[in-house]
């Protein structure tokens, strides 16, 4: 595998190109529209593992987010997940055949629809906040350029490919399309990221940790030096040996002595030291940017809400865990069935979600009422939760 070496030359900051289309407004025009009033339509309270609060704003999310900015939410949101319409030119129905939403916009109209909302989202986010934007291949590449304009190319971190369904035996002249994409951006370079791990499969663990010690514990051998010359202690000789040319020890000579005394240095027959790293100390396999185990339910009837395009809750929980801590505030401006709200509730995060569909309002209310009635909450550690439902005034 050929790997490029970073040149070290300073990179140009900012974009030196932009996407242009008919109807592209200025940021000022987008941000300076007046906000509408929000009217409370319902409040549900109950007991829960976590002390959390949630809000659903029913109406166009552009109006809803303007109202949030007007209320003082600018710079208050820790994390965002959105799964907007994908410009499919289709209508989406619930499992009982009610129209959930229409996805008819295409081209420049769709791009500007997304851009306006992404600009408001950026304004709502904390400087340390991050955002995941879920899309499919139709518009993901175009929206990536819009994201670069709004959040900055330097704040782009991952293009996650998710396996969304089982293999398809497609009759059209193409490969089966079973993936969609999640873009990960932060608002600035100072953002929160909690590394996520998956459990080792036996096969992968045995390949990676291929040695066993006298107690039958699996380990691997890793170099004790790293690239780059150092003048301090890590550049000094250890046991009469200098680090290899152009490298330095990863630990000071004292620390290397300690590791050796603890039996954590492996000496090869020709006297080459390496560190023993044990499987039992591993948190698992660090997650990569291809997600194979988070496909959506193939049949919406088996899901909680029956709302179309409902996403896999484990996927949303994983994403939220990576960029939030307990008590943080999560936003989803295209709530749908309320998967993000449910994931946030499950993890003890506060949330605000928006959607213009009456079926989305019903689906989320169903989830919250279910939560309110749930009996398996540990009675000794119950906390309070409250969810308010509000409507954007016409």
Ligand X SMILES: C[S@@+](CC[C@H](N)C(=O)[O-])C[C@H]1O[C@@H](n2cnc3c(N)ncnc32)[C@H](O)[C@@H]1O
> Residue numbers of the site for ligand X (CB under 6 A)?
60-61, 83-85, 101, 307, 309-311, 334, 336-337, 339, 354-357, 360
Nearest residue to ligand X by CB is 336
User: What minimum distance in Å lies between the beta carbon of 85 and ligand X?
Assistant: 5
- Nearest to ligand X of 149, 303 (CB atom): 303
- Nearest to ligand X of 219, 307 (CB atom): 307
- Nearest to ligand X of 90, 210 (CB atom): 90
Residue 241 DSSP code: B
The CA distance from 79 to 286, in Å, is: 21
Nearest to 177 by CA among 157, 161, 189: 161
User: What minimum distance in Å lies between the beta carbon of 364 and ligand X?
Assistant: 9
- Nearest to ligand X of 148, 296 (CB atom): 296
- Nearest to ligand X of 125, 135 (CB atom): 135
The CA distance from 84 to 138, in Å, is: 12
User: What minimum distance in Å lies between the beta carbon of 206 and ligand X?
Assistant: 37
* Cβ-contact 188, 126 below 8 angstroms: no
Nearest to 238 by CA among 278, 276, 271: 271
User: What minimum distance in Å lies between the beta carbon of 341 and ligand X?
Assistant: 10
Say how many CA atoms lie within 13 Å of 159 toward its Cβ: 11
The CA distance from 170 to 165, in Å, is: 13
Helix then strand then coil, % of the chain, to nearest 5: 30, 30, 45
* Cβ-contact 100, 357 below 8 angstroms: yes
- Nearest to ligand X of 200, 294 (CB atom): 294
User: What minimum distance in Å lies between the beta carbon of 309 and ligand X?
Assistant: 4
User: What minimum distance in Å lies between the beta carbon of 46 and ligand X?
Assistant: 22
The CA distance from 64 to 393, in Å, is: 9
328: tokens are 């943080």
User: What minimum distance in Å lies between the beta carbon of 163 and ligand X?
Assistant: 17
- Nearest to ligand X of 78, 310 (CB atom): 310
- Nearest to ligand X of 113, 251 (CB atom): 113
User: What minimum distance in Å lies between the beta carbon of 88 and ligand X?
Assistant: 9
The CA distance from 278 to 257, in Å, is: 19
Alpha helix segments (H runs only) across the chain: 27-31, 61-71, 107-124, 140-151, 202-208, 253-261, 313-323, 339-347, 358-373
The CA distance from 26 to 226, in Å, is: 48
């Amino acid at each position: 595998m050929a790997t490029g070496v970073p040149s070290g030359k300073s990179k140009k900051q900012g974009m030196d190109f932009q996407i242009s289309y008919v109807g592209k407004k200025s940021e000022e025009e987008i941000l300076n529209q007046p906000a509408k009033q929000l009217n409370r339509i319902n409040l549900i309270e109950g007991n829960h593992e976590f002390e959390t609060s949630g809000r659903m704003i029913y109406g166009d999310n552009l109006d809803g987010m303007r109202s949030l900015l007007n209320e003082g939410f600018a710079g208050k949101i820790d994390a965002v997940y959105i799964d907007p319409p994908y410009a499919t030119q289709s209508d989406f129905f619930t499992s009982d055949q009610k129209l959930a939403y229409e996805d008819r916009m295409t081209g420049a109209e769709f791009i500007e629809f997304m851009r306006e909302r992404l600009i408001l989202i950026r304004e709502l986010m904390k400087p340390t906040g991050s955002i995941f934007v879920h899309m499919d291949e139709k518009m993901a590449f175009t929206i990536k350029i819009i994201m670069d304009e709004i959040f900055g190319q330097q704040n782009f971190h991952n293009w996650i490919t998710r396996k969304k369904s089982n293999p398809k035996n497609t009759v059209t002249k193409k490969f089966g399309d079973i993936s969609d994409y999640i873009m990960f951006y932060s608002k600035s370079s100072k953002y929160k990221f909690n590394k996520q791990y998956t459990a080792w499969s036996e096969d992968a663990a045995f390949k990676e940790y291929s040695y066993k010690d006298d107690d039958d514990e699996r380990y691997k051998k890793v170099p004790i030096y790293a690239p780059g010359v150092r003048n301090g202690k890590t550049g000094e000789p250890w046991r009469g040996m200098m680090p290899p040319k152009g490298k330095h020890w990863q630990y000071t000579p004292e620390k290397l002595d300690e590791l050796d005394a603890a039996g954590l240095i492996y000496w090869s027959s020709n006297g080459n030291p390496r560190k023993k790293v044990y499987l039992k100390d591993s948190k698992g396999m660090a997650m990569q940017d291809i997600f194979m185990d988070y496909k959506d339910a193939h049949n919406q009837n088996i899901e909680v809400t029956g709302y179309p395009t409902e996403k896999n809750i484990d996927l949303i929980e994983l994403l939220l865990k990576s960029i939030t801590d307990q008590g943080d505030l999560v936003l989803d401006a295209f709530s749908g069935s309320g998967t993000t709200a449910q994931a946030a509730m499950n993890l003890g995060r506060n949330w605000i979600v928006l959607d213009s569909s009456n079926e989305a309002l019903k689906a989320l209310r169903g989830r919250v009422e279910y939560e309110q009635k749930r009996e398996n909450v540990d009675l000794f550690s119950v906390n309070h939760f409250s969810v308010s439902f509000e409507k954007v005034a016409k």
